[in-house]
Structure 1
Amino acid sequence: MFVVPPSYADTVVQGILQLQWADPPRALPGRAQAAPHLDVWLETAPGQRVALDAAQARRAAGDLYALANRHVAVSYESPLSKAARAASSSPSIGAIVPTGRVAARATALGAEGRVMASAPVLGSTRWVTLMCKFADIAAEQKPREFFQSQYGDAPGQLGHYWSEVSYGQIDLAGSSAHGWYTLPQPREAYLALVNGKQKAQLSQLFADCAAAADVDVDFRGAQGVNLMFNGELDGNAWGGGACATLDGAYTCTRVTWSPPWSFANLAPLAHEMGHGYGLPHSNNSDGDADTYDNPWDLMSDAWRNATSDATFGTLPKHVNMYQRERLGWLPATRKRVIASDNGETQEFVLDAGSLQGSTNTQLVVLATPAQPDPYKTVIYTLEARRRTGTYESRLAGDAVIIHKLEDYGIAYSIDTDTPAADVSNNEGSMLQVGERWNTPDERHWIEVVAATADGFRIRVGPRPRSMSSPAPALVKPATQTASSQPPVNTGTPSPPVATARAATARGRCDALPALLRHPMLCALLER
């Protein structure tokens, strides 16, 4: 494998973009969680790769994750001065753009002002599992039948999970498992010392495992390869993409690398497959370096608040709604965008993300003013989660979950507690009936009005207008679906008109920023 560093003479380099995510196991009690790692490579020719700085690549690509396993061009920026060039051994990345056929929505600007750069993942996504043994380790932890059954369509199996989380937009039809095959070298031969730490040589593992299985396996039409190893790698499971010779052709595809602790549980395996599909990590808003502390999302904390199965271990929970929409899984009719200059109050039903076939909203986007770089435009999203079904029944609660989208497409769950909790399965991370939240710029406020059979009725409004302007009108849906019916009448008489007006006035006062909630201003609102 040749790693070719770029030079100042190379202004544009083309190749296939490869992302590889390292994910450590869940930390033991009392131990700090190990950090994730992202490698970014440009495969310029068989066996030749250019390493890309991950932070530079994120900025240069905008949505780096949408370009994985695609042909791209990387342009470099050379410092103007000789002194600056002497201080750096390689130029910085200026832009990364796709050069192959681009999906129809790949560069569309969303109504919320962010670029929707993702290529949809739709249809049949057949995966092949290869079980490979190191030459010096004889153990075979699971039989082939176990790995084959992971792809099943029954609840608690990967075929069922990915169909449910994608609303039927993808399936794993035709996926198969093969092995065990013996690798040509012992485990130590697949480890290299990089920056003082052992690191698995992923490309070599893929190449040797695929070569060992080549006689038995038909790779034609496969859209991903799950590699299972009978020993530890470098302390991580890995997911993303890689290139190897498959059926005589040099092919770049989705790949995962799983040691025994990973393949014994569907949750970490699904997490790595998520990276293969182009999903980045999610996070919470506590500001620490631990990305695995948002248990509402498979792509953050796959372990906590998760269901389990006697055969397949810890099961995956769902992915946040923004990422589902990004991959083309959420119908456009189930997304509602509240413009940054919204001037009206809206009330509607927000169905839980787990509900299949919903006819209501399942993703709300609160837009903020667009930035010159649309990838830096911050948005907030609302989604409903309920403790139900095979994968979501052990969530922390039934609630509306708020995410902030920034950092080139990373979703951070919002915690209203101060300080934010280390793990976002606390009350502050759940907006529940009767609670209200404002965006930090107070451009939008939201209130959870009531629970419904499948989610919540919520109210969204703009920042209060000046005292001389009329209050915004309440906008209600023209029709109501079965899941959006109002609560059953309990027989309690309606409040007198004066009481209702006072309650409305108090509501308007509550909508004011805290600094403006002066008794005299509230009294004016009561007139």
Structure 2
Amino acid sequence: MYRIGTAAATLALLAASAAAQGQVLQGGLELRWGDATPAPAGRTLPPKFHAALVLDHGARIALDPDEARRGAGDLYALANRRVAVQFSSRKSSSGNRAIEAIVPADQVDAPMPHVLTGKADGVAKATLGSTRWITIACRFSDITEEQKTVDFFRDQYGDAEGQLGHYWREVSYDKINLAGSDARGWYALPNARAHYVTEDDDGEEDADLNALFDDCTAAANADVDFSQVVGINMMFNGDLDGYAWGGGRCTTLDGANRCWSTTWNPPWSFNNLAPLAHEMGHGYGLPHSDNSDGDDDTYDNPWDVMSDGWSNAVYDATYGSRPKHINILQRDRLGWVDAARKRTIASGAARARVTLDYASLSGSSNVQMLVLQTPASPDPYRGTFYTVEARRPAGAYEGRLAGDAVIIHLVGSNYRFEAESQDADWPPADVANNEGSMFKVGEAWVSPDGLFSVYVESKTANGFVVVVGDGRVTGGKTPRRLKR
């Protein structure tokens, strides 16, 4: 993989080596996450993830997800962007073309360094200002029920407490808004549900997301100028394939050829703001978060709507389960955490005392994102670091969080730039709303690698004072240690 300072230099290097190592193609990068309908414990379907390169003339090349992650280093930072992909002549384990490298082709000089590499070859673009969405409601030709009115969908974007406009302004510290977002529908699709949702060779349902997008946007085209929106929320009046989907669609609409943030929502998703916000988060390029129990269930971290949107959620009589905030890493990826609100402490550094304000506070004057940086890895994108933030049960969206505490996440390893909440209990809890996942005054955490300790020394009006050390804990009668 190529890991050099600018996209321009990387593109030049790819071009120079293309003849020797394989074909280089440019296009839009589509990433899509499938999130299963809620089900009893042990019966939830696993999440799905698809990646594709869409060429300028519309052809799509499916990418092996593991190959794409390795080739990009931080694949999620490139969602919905123009990229260059260098393919190899060898085949991947899935039978798709193997990938040597994926680099951004839309931004020569990134404005900030990547937190793992310190370089700018794969930094997520900041999402700032107006992010206008359009909802289009489409009904299958064989299903007549329209579960919600278009006015309901339009009002979901409102700026009142409990509506999406208010939520995204609050969670972004007023860095983005949904001004101008609107809804249209219901539109009749030209085909029955069975045309779009078929069975694969294993007998599992498979939704043709591209056909759903093409037919739904075509039905609304006379009423919507898609060139004026950032995102498209599609609401369907029947189940899809057991999943709601979020991510991107790269195509040409109303004379514009680009990638739109896109969601595909069955009724259970659009009836509740939490799953809808989750899919919109994927539209902004955010991946899932997780806890540290080591299982295959990514929906078990209730400190982030990009993981468990249902547990510890505030309920709204009109809009169902409200979304909780995203964790501090997700906020930072989108450019919402000011540099003055972040502090990085490298392993081996002197003991430090830090005033850590709640992540939910807008206008904080103290640190809200504490990064604990481990030593550099030979391949920096396989490295890890930790984030430390303060959370509390308060407000319109976080009022039912499990506790008032310091929350710690492990980030990185194996090209997955995803956050895993840390749990001091052994074995770790199935859902991270347990005491072991919350660090309170007089308690401490020691990192699994033994490089760091975080001791919660005292409470403040707006958060906590924490002491970061080198893996040894002092103070308090019964410091909590991570079992390993």
What is the TM-score with the length of structure 1 in the denominator?
A: 0.83
In the other structure, the counterpart of 2:34 is 22
In the other structure, the counterpart of 2:229 is 222
In the other structure, the counterpart of 1:423 is 431
**1:33 maps to 2:40:** no
Contact 2:371/2:386 (CA < 8 Å) preserved in 1?
Answer: yes
Q: Secondary structure at the match of 1:220?
A: helix
In the other structure, the counterpart of 1:282 is 289
Contact 2:301/2:432 (CA < 8 Å) preserved in 1?
Answer: yes
Structure 1, gaps ≥5 residues long: 1-7, 80-84, 465-503, 515-527
In the other structure, the counterpart of 1:386 is 392
One-letter identity of the residue aligned with 2:199: L
Q: Secondary structure at the match of 2:195?
A: helix
Residues 212-239 of structure 1: per-residue CA shift (max 9 Å, x gap)? 1111112232000000001111110000
Distance 1:509 1:302, change over 3 A: closer
One-letter identity of the residue aligned with 1:362: Q
Contact 1:135/1:184 (CA < 8 Å) preserved in 2?
Answer: yes
CA deviation after TM superposition for structure 1 residue 319, in Å: 0.5
One-letter identity of the residue aligned with 1:252: C
Q: Distance in 2 between matches of 1:93 and 1:47?
A: 20
Contact 2:28/2:258 (CA < 8 Å) preserved in 1?
Answer: no
In the other structure, the counterpart of 2:10 is none
Distance 1:111 1:290, change over 3 A: closer
**1:332 maps to 2:343:** no
- Find the partner of 1:53 among 44, 48, 64: 64
Q: Distance in 1 between matches of 2:313 and 2:93?
A: 49
Aligned residues: 459
Q: Distance in 2 between matches of 1:112 and 1:426?
A: 33
- Find the partner of 1:95 among 97, 101, 108: 101
In the other structure, the counterpart of 1:400 is 406
Contact 2:116/2:383 (CA < 8 Å) preserved in 1?
Answer: no
CA deviation after TM superposition for structure 1 residue 46, in Å: 3.9
- Find the partner of 1:12 among 5, 24, 34: 24
One-letter identity of the residue aligned with 1:294: N
Q: Distance in 2 between matches of 1:368 and 1:281?
A: 22
CA deviation after TM superposition for structure 1 residue 442, in Å: 2.4
One-letter identity of the residue aligned with 1:61: A
In the other structure, the counterpart of 1:271 is 278
Please give the residue correspondences for 1:49-448 in structure 2 after superposition, counting only pairs within 5 Å: 49-79=60-90, 90-102=96-108, 104-105=110-111, 108-110=113-115, 117-196=123-202, 197-342=204-349, 344-407=350-413, 408-448=416-456
My pick for the range that moved more, 93-102 or 323-332, is 93-102
Q: Distance in 1 between matches of 2:257 and 2:477?
A: 66
CA RMSD of aligned residues (A): 2.5
Residues 408-459 of structure 1: per-residue CA shift (max 9 Å, x gap)? 3110000011111111110100011100111223222111111111211111
Q: Distance in 1 between matches of 2:409 and 2:82?
A: 31
My pick for the range that moved more, 85-94 or 114-123, is 85-94
Contact 2:274/2:309 (CA < 8 Å) preserved in 1?
Answer: yes
CA deviation after TM superposition for structure 1 residue 249, in Å: 4.2
Q: Distance in 2 between matches of 1:318 and 1:337?
A: 22
CA deviation after TM superposition for structure 1 residue 47, in Å: 3.7
In the other structure, the counterpart of 1:450 is 458
Q: Distance in 1 between matches of 2:22 and 2:378?
A: 28
Residues 79-108 of structure 1: per-residue CA shift (max 9 Å, x gap)? 4xxxxx7998554111111112246236x2
Contact 1:445/1:460 (CA < 8 Å) preserved in 2?
Answer: yes
One-letter identity of the residue aligned with 1:453: A
Contact 2:21/2:88 (CA < 8 Å) preserved in 1?
Answer: no
Q: Distance in 2 between matches of 1:164 and 1:21?
A: 24
Q: Distance in 2 between matches of 1:114 and 1:507?
A: 38
Q: Secondary structure at the match of 1:38?
A: strand
CA deviation after TM superposition for structure 1 residue 311, in Å: 0.4
CA deviation after TM superposition for structure 1 residue 78, in Å: 3.1
Distance 1:118 1:103, change over 3 A: farther
CA deviation after TM superposition for structure 1 residue 64, in Å: 0.8
In the other structure, the counterpart of 1:524 is none
Q: Secondary structure at the match of 1:76?
A: strand
Highest Rg: 1 or 2?
A: 1
Q: Secondary structure at the match of 1:78?
A: strand
Q: Distance in 2 between matches of 1:237 and 1:288?
A: 22
Contact 1:113/1:370 (CA < 8 Å) preserved in 2?
Answer: no
Structure 2, gaps ≥5 residues long: 1-19
Q: Secondary structure at the match of 1:21?
A: strand
Q: Distance in 1 between matches of 2:319 and 2:478?
A: 49
Q: Distance in 2 between matches of 1:100 and 1:145?
A: 37
Distance 1:193 1:261, change over 3 A: same
Contact 1:296/1:318 (CA < 8 Å) preserved in 2?
Answer: yes
- Find the partner of 2:55 among 22, 38, 44: 44
In the other structure, the counterpart of 2:8 is none
One-letter identity of the residue aligned with 1:138: T
Distance 1:508 1:319, change over 3 A: closer
